[in-house]
Homo-oligomer: A and B are copies of this chain.
Amino acid sequence: MPITAPPSATTLLAVDLEAVVANWRALQSRLERAECSAVVKADAYGLGATRIAPALAAAGCHTFFVATLDEGIALRPLLPGVTIIVLSGALPGAEDTFAAHAIVPVLNSLSDITCWQDFARKTSTARDAWIHIDTGMNRLGLTSSDARTLAAEPGRLTGLNVLGWMSHLSSADQRFHPASSAQLGRFQQHLARLPKARRSLANSSGLCRGRAFQLDLVRPGAALYGINPTPEVENPQRPVFTFTARVLQVRQVDPGMTVGYGVTHQVTRSGRIATIAAGYADGFFRALGNRSRVFIGGQPAPVVGQVSMDLITVDVTALPESTVWPGCLAEVIGPHRTVDQAATEAGTIGYEILTALSKRCHRVWLPEAK
C-alpha cells in the first residue's frame, strides 16, 4: 500500500495494524489452552498504544499489560470491558486512582499485599490483583521467602481477589537456557503451596519455548511488534512498521571535503551525499555515525559522518541519480533494514530500537480508516 503524507512531514512511521493483529493470532495459534494477552507498555513499544491496543481488543484480546498506572489510565477509555494490569505495582497512595479507573495492579511484595488488603478493608470491597513471585530476575516480585510466608499465612490474602500468579523469565530468548527451566521449576514449587489461581510466566520468547511455559496466560510484547522471539531461527513474526525519512538535499562532494560534526568523515573521491531528515532525536542512535546505512529505492546508502540531532548524511554515489531527489523517502527501518538488523548494528536489542522511535514523526496507520 503506498504511503501518503503531507510535504510538511519529514519522518514517517507507518504501522500496519493488520500485521500486529496477525502476529497476535500467530502467537495464539501456538497455545494449547492459555489465554494470549498483549503487552502494550511504553506506548506499545513506541508504536502507538492508543491505536494498537483497540485493534487487538477488536480481534479478541481481553487482557492488556502496561508498565505504569498513567499508561493504564490513558488506555482505559479506549478499552472498555478488558482487563488492564499495571506491572510496576501500586505505590502507597495510588490505591484510589487504581480503583477509580478499574485498573488492576501486580502486587510485587508482601508490603504491596498488605497495602492493597488495607485498601480492600477500608473500602469494604474485595480487590482484584495479580501477584508476582520472583523466580530469578531479582527485579520485581515476592522473594522466595516472601512467597513461603504468604503460603504459610493465607490470611494475608483475605479481601483480595487473586486473579493470578505471575513470574518473569530472564533468558527465554536463548533456546534451552537453563535459567528458563529452573525458573519454571521454582514457580511450580511456589504455586503448589499457594491458593489456586491462573498462572502466567511466559513473555514472547517464553511462549515459543514449549507448552510447559505457557500455563494459563502468556504475555507477549516484542513478538507482536515483529521482533524475533526465537533468534536462533528465521523470524516467524511479520514486520509491523516502516520508518522512513525524506531526503532533504543531494550534494556533490570532492576529495578533501569533510562531512558532519567533528570532521570525522573525509571525502576521498568525488561523489554525492544525501542529507536525510532523521537523526538521534528520531531514534537513529548517535553511535551509528559512520557505521550504518539506510536504503533508497531499495539500494543501500552508507551513513557518512556523525549522526546529528535531526539529520544524517549518507553516501549515494553508487545509486542512480534518478532514484535520489529532495523529497524522496529513505527507508530507515523496513524490509531492507529490519528492526533486528538495526539492533545488531547499534549493539542493542530490537526493543530499544522501537522505544527510541521519534515522537515527532508523522504517523500513518495501515490499513487506513475504511
A interface vs B, CB < 8 Å?
A: 6-11, 41-43, 45-46, 67-71, 73, 87-89, 91-94, 97, 108-109, 111-112, 134, 136-140, 143, 145, 170-171, 174, 179, 246, 248-249, 251-253, 257-263, 267, 273, 275, 277, 280-281, 285-287, 305, 308-311, 313, 326-327, 347-349, 351-352, 355-356, 359-360, 362
Contact = CB atoms under 8 A, between A and B. Distances in A.
B137 A326 contact: no
Give the residue among A9, A11, A46, A310 with the most B Cβ atoms within 10 A. Answer: A310
Contacts of A43: 359-360
Contacts of A263: 136, 170-171, 179
A134 B254 CA distance: 14
Given A170-B263, A281-B355, 12 more contacts: A7-B94, A8-B70, A67-B277, A67-B309, A91-B246, A109-B251, A112-B326, A136-B257, A137-B261, A138-B258, A179-B263, A309-B351
In the A-B complex, list the 10 residue pairs whose CB atoms are closest, starting with the nearest.
Answer: A7-B93, A42-B281, A67-B310, A7-B94, A281-B355, A8-B69, A138-B259, A286-B352, A91-B327, A280-B352
Given A89-B249, A326-B91, A352-B286, A42 B360 contact: yes
Nearest to A327: B91
A57 B71 CA distance: 33
Nearest to A73: B8
B91 A248 contact: yes
> For the complex, would chain A's binding face be called helix, strand, loop or mixed by DSSP majority?
loop
Contacts of A249: 89, 108-109, 140
A171 B262 contact: yes
B287 A88 contact: no
A45 to B, nearest CB: 8
Given A89-B248, A138-B253, A8 B309 contact: no
Nearest to A258: B136
Contact of A97 (B8, B258, B287, B309): B8
Contacts of A89: 248-249
A275 B351 CA distance: 20
Given A42-B360, A327-B93, A355-B309, A248 B7 contact: no
A136 B264 CA distance: 12
